[in-house]
Amino acid sequence: MDYTKNTYVIYTKTGKIAKILDIHYDDKTPYYTINILDENREIQTIKSYLKKISSRKKTRKRTKKRVWTKKLCKKI
């Protein structure tokens, strides 16, 4: 997955949110200039240290067995 300019990502070394300011292709693998929002500083990094921000919350599905067990526990 390649990132684009002005995309918000998580910088995995610190776990903080960053914005991609520029993408540099003058090396064998592209590298990114990002702005870490909390610290308001710019650094250059590679793709492996960036992570897409997930917009969906992961929810655990309740199974019938789990619901049935809870109902039995309440009666006891």
Q: What is the pLDDT along the chain (76 residues), one digit of tens a residue?
A: 679 999 999 999 999 999 999 999 998 999 999 999 989 899 999 999 999 988 665 555 555 556 655 555 655 5
- Phi, psi at 16, each rounded to 5°: -100, 160
Q: Where are the domains of the chain?
A: 1-52
Class of domain 1-52: mainly beta
pLDDT at position 76 is 55
3 C-beta neighbours (distance < 10 Å), count: 17
> How many angstroms separate the CA atoms of 21 and 7, rounded?
8
E strands present in 1-76: 8-11, 16-24, 31-36, 41-46, 50-52
| pTM listed for this prediction | 0.68
pLDDT at position 54 is 80
Specify the DSSP class assigned to residue 26: S
